[in-house]
C-alpha cells in the first residue's frame, strides 16, 4: 500500500493493508503524543460511522484518520470537520465527480431518482479530547468510497469507481490533494467556510434536522465557520451544531 501511495503529503503517513478502524489507531497515536500523523488503510474490519453506526470499509477505499493538535477551544474544534469535508469534496471534484456536501459533512453525488438529494460517497467522523478549555487532540476520520464496487456498500451509497463508469481513480493523487487542501484550510476558518459553502448541497434547501430533544424544519440558509447550520423556521433563526439532517426538497 505504501508503494501505491508513496505520496508527498504534509503529514507523516502510517499505512495498513487492514486495520480495525483508522480512527481507533489514530486515537491511540494521539494518546501517545503524536501530531500531524495520518493513519491510512486499504480495508477496515471494524470501521465506525457517526451516531455509533458501522461503516462499510472494503478493500479499495480511502479510509484515513488525521491526528491534529490545533490551538483551539473545544467548541471550535469542528472547524477541522468543515475543513476536511471541503477538502474531500474538492479532491473528489478534481477526480471528475460532481460531489456536494450535505450538512454536516457527508459527501453526496446527486441522483435524480433519489429523493434525499444524492447517494453517499463519503463521511467524516471527528473525535477529540480536551482539558482545561483547550483541545489536546482531534482525530478527523474520512471514509471515501474510492475504488469500491457498489455491491460491497450500503444501498444508498455510491463510489468513485461507479461514478467514473468503472475507471479506477488514483488513490495516491486523491489522498495527496485531499491532505494538501485539508492542510491549507485547517488554519483558515474563513477559507474553509467559503470552500464548504461553495460545495454545499444543503444551503437553500428545506431541511428537517433531528436533534436529541426536538426536530427543526425550515430553510437552511447558512453555515457558520465552526460548521453549525443556520435554519430559518419561519418565526425564528436557529443555529444547530449537531444533528441528523434530511433534505426535504
- Decide whether 23 or 218 has the Cβ nearer to ligand BTN: 23
Does 243 contact ligand BTN by CB under 6 A?
no
- Pick out residues in 66-105 that bind ligand BTN (CB under 6 A): none
CA–CA distance, 167 with 248 (Å, rounded to integer) = 33
Does 196 contact ligand BTN by CB under 6 A?
no
Residue of 141, 189, 227, 243 that binds ligand BTN (CB under 6 A): 141
Does 65 contact ligand BTN by CB under 6 A?
yes
Q: Which three cell numbers stand for residue 181?
A: 487542501
Q: Which three cell numbers stand for residue 203?
A: 444551503
Does 125 contact ligand BTN by CB under 6 A?
yes
Strands 62-68, 134-144: pairing kind: antiparallel
Would residue 246 be called left, alpha or beta, if left means φ above 0 and alpha means ψ between -120 and 50 degrees?
A: beta
Q: How many CA atoms lie within 13 A of 114 on its CB side?
A: 15
Region of 41-49, 70-78, 165-173, 200-208 interacting with ligand BTN (CB under 6 A): 41-49
Residue of 9, 30, 37, 55 that binds ligand BTN (CB under 6 A): 55
- Work out how close the CB of 126 gets to ligand BTN at its nearest, in angstroms, rounded to a whole number: 9
CA–CA distance, 202 with 219 (Å, rounded to integer) = 9
Amino acid at each position: 500500500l505504501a508503494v501505491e501511495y508513496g505520496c508527498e503529503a504534509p503529514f507523516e503517513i502510517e499505512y495498513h493493508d487492514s486495520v480495525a478502524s483508522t480512527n481507533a489507531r489514530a486515537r491511540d497515536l494521539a494518546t501517545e503524543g503524536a501530531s500531524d500523523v495520518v493513519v491510512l488503510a486499504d480495508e477496515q474490519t471494524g470501521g465506525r460511522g457517526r451516531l455509533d453506526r458501522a461503516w462499510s470499509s472494503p478493500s479499495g477505499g480511502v479510509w484515513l484518520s488525521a491526528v491534529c493538535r490545533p490551538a483551539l477551544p473545544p467548541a471550535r474544534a469542528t472547524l477541522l470537520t468543515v475543513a476536511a469535508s471541503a477538502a474531500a469534496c474538492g479532491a473528489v471534484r478534481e477526480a471528475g465527480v460532481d460531489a456536494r456536501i450535505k450538512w454536516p459533512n457527508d459527501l453526496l453525488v446527486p441522483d435524480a431518482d433519489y429523493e434525499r438529494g444524492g447517494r453517499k460517497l463519503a463521511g467524516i467522523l471527528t473525535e477529540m479530547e480536551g482539558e482545561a478549555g483547550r483541545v489536546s487532540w482531534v482525530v478527523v476520520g474520512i471514509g471515501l468510497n474510492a475504488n469500491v464496487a457498489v455491491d460491497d456498500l450500503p444501498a444508498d451509497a455510491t463510489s468513485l469507481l461507479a461514478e467514473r463508469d468503472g475507471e479506477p481513480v488514483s488513490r495516491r493523487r486523491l489522498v495527496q490533494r485531499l491532505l494538501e487542501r485539508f492542510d491549507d484550510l485547517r488554519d483558515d476558518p474563513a477559507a474553509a467556510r467559503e470552500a464548504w459553502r461553495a460545495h454545499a448541497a444543503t444551503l437553500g434547501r428545506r431541511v428537517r434536522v433531528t436533534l436529541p430533544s426536538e426536530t427543526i424544519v425550515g430553510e437552511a440558509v447558512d453555515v457558520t465557520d465552526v460548521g453549525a447550520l443556520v435554519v430559518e423556521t419561519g418565526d425564528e433563526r436557529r443555529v444547530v451544531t449537531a444533528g441528523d439532517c434530511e433534505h426535504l426538497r
